C-alpha cells in the first residue's frame, strides 16, 4: 500500500558531516530511480519489517532495496542479505564512487 505522506520525501537520518557524501549519493540515486520508475512508489529511510533501508522501491515485479555503505565487510554483507532475503538488494559501495559530480552521476546510473 502506498504511503502518500512519505512518497517523494527524501529523508536524511544523520546530520553528521561525515554522512554528507552518503546523503548526496542517496539523493542522486533517488532522483535516478524516480526517472526510471516514474509510476512506482520510491521511499528513503522507509521502515520495512523493522529495518530501514536507504532506498525502497515497489514495482509490479517486487521490491528493490538499495543500501549505501562505506565499509562492506563479510559480516555486514551476511547480515544485510539475511535481513532482506525476500527482496532484491542492491549494495552501493560508497568508497568506490568518484567524488566528481558528473562522474558520480554516471557511476550511480549503473545501480538503477
- Match domain 17-109 to its CATH number in 3.40.50.2300, 3.90.1570.20, 3.40.50.150, 3.30.70.1150: 3.90.1570.20
Q: What pLDDT, in 10s, does the model give residues 8-54?
A: 667 676 777 888 899 999 999 999 999 999 999 998 888 877 788 99
Prediction pTM value: 0.83
Answer whether 65's CB lies under 8 Å from 85's CB: no
Count of alpha carbons within 13 angstroms of residue 6, beta-carbon side: 15
> How far is Cα 49 from Cα 69, in angstroms, rounded to an integer?
20
Task: Give the span between the Cα atoms of 30 and 48, in whole angstroms.
Answer: 17
Amino acid at each position: 500500500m502506498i504511503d502518500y505522506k512519505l512518497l517523494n520525501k527524501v529523508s536524511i537520518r544523520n546530520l553528521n558531516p561525515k554522512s554528507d557524501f552518503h546523503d548526496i549519493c542517496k539523493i542522486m540515486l533517488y532522483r535516478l530511480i524516480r526517472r526510471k520508475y516514474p509510476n512506482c512508489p520510491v521511499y528513503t529511510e522507509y521502515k520495512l519489517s523493522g529495518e530501514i533501508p536507504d532506498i525502497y522501491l515497489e514495482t509490479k515485479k517486487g521490491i528493490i532495496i538499495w543500501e549505501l555503505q562505506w565499509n562492506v565487510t563479510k559480516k555486514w554483507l551476511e547480515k544485510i542479505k539475511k535481513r532482506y532475503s525476500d527482496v532484491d538488494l542492491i549494495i552501493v559501495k560508497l568508497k568506490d564512487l568518484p567524488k566528481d559530480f558528473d562522474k558520480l552521476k554516471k557511476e550511480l546510473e549503473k545501480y538503477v
